[in-house]
Amino acid sequence: MSPKQVPPPGVDPYFPTHGDARYRVHRYELALDYRPGPNRLGGSARLSAVAGGAALAEFALDLAEFRIGRVLVDGKAAHYTHRAGKLRIRPAKALAAGAAFTVEVHYTGNPKPVRSQWGGLGWEELTDGALVASQPIGASSWYPCNDRPADKASYQISVTTPSPYTVVASGRLLTKTTRSSSTTWVYEQSAPTASYLVTVSIGQYQTVRLIEGSSTPRPNRTVPQTAYLPARLVPEFTIDFGRQAWMMHHFEELFGPYPFGEYAVVVADEELDVPVEAQGLATFGTNHLDGSRTSERLVAHELAHQWFGNSVTIADWRHIWLNEGFAKYAEWIWAEHAGGRTAAEHAAAAHALLAGLPQDLRLGDPGRKLMFDDRLYQRGGLTVHALRCELGDEAFFRLVKDWAVRHRHGVVSTLDFTAHADRYASAPLDGLFHAWLYDPLLPPLPGASR
């Protein structure tokens, strides 16, 4: 079995230079002005935070290559240095252990993605507009933050941009104010949110409300669902996303109440390699629409992340299988519910695929190099399926719903999950979890009848 001691949330072993565990942020207030033509961003960020168990003579924020106007701590000018993506701040007076404090940063520049082994992450300039896709370390490309998933906070995001553009951001739209040729959009995300899950999309979009239809038995009627997309794509969209209301209802039955106040979908006017989840929002590309529901599994995947990854957030990136394994399994559950292949058939196909690939992935701690490997997604889904086969449907689905409800808006680890699962089993699950999470060799296909 894996080591029973998990380091406290803090330094991420995969990204040790990101974040600062010496304090916690509980609220961000971002005021941004963005001009799409020159790709120019001017911003101010006010962070409300609390020092940890030791006095802070200095602390750090993650922020990419912007010009810094001024930095204030508790309203007073602070000394700072800004190099290699780190804004290191020294207050005029050291902050006492446990003290609440505010940081205010004013900055300007031309935002661009943060470079990584997976390509650019974060703020991406489009042909006409912009979007943000920060997972896992791209948040610093557009605002100063404590960039570690365990440090969740509420957000208010104000974006001013030319009036022809629509701004979509994480949370609920509070106000939309037009003055002259510019419009300011203000969004509030009250639920605790990891920095990588905060997003903004800017484009010339049409707004579409997702409603139930004849194909939506017992539809969800409580979660507002809105889409923003180029007007020319509305006919395809109404087919490709036509069953999302039904999907939302089914996932609420399985996973518990939807954890946020609303759900939005953006279809950027650009092709994207993969869709991207954010808090209460998912972004797709034009290539994910064809009017034939070809990408419906991705619609299910991104919606499932609202429970698994966004509401229930991993303490650090070693535990990414908890996000992707459940989102992958949600694809299979949805396909079966909608009349397609069964989850068992999907599991068999995934197992056959993995059997022909290298056996060098430790799912429970894949390492930075393999954390987004497709094998992690497939094996993650198989691990969830193996657990279902072991427990039976009644105990399994009770386990899943209880996991999502008990840890709503919380931070978890693999050890938390295995301990949780043991409570629903008639015999210890150590062997199952060791085989699927920590032994690189692919276990046999789960074969229990259901």
Residue 10's pLDDT is 73
Checking if the pLDDT of 68 tops 80, the result is yes
CATH class of the domain defined by 316-438: mainly alpha
Checking if the pLDDT of 1 tops 60, the result is no
| Domain layout of the chain by residue ranges | 23-199, 206-311, 316-438
Chain mean position to CA 353: 27
Q: One fold for both 23-199 and 316-438?
A: no
Pairing of strands 281-284, 76-77: unpaired
Average pLDDT over residues 349-373: 98
Whole-number Å distance between alpha carbons of 336 and 362: 28
Pairing of strands 67-73, 100-109: antiparallel
CATH class of the domain defined by 23-199: mainly beta
Angle at Cα 446 formed by Cα 311 and Cα 373, nearest 5°?
Answer: 50
pLDDT per position as a tens digit, 271-317: 999 999 999 999 999 999 999 999 999 999 999 999 999 999 999 99
Length of the chain: 450
Residue 190's pLDDT is 97
Contact (CB, 8 A) for 23 and 51: yes
Instruction: Find, among 376, 382, 420, 386, the residue nearest to 401 by Cα.
Output: 420
Query: Rounded mean pLDDT of the chain?
Result: 95
**Token pair 């304090």 in the structure block, residue:** 23
Domain spanning 206-311: CATH superfamily = Neutral Protease Domain 2 (1.10.390.10)
Average pLDDT over residues 390-406: 98
Band of pLDDT at residue 9, cut at 50, 70 and 90: low
Band of pLDDT at residue 211, cut at 50, 70 and 90: confident
Average pLDDT over residues 78-86: 97
Residue 4's pLDDT is 41
Whole-number Å distance between alpha carbons of 280 and 201: 13
Q: Position 258: which residue type?
A: Y
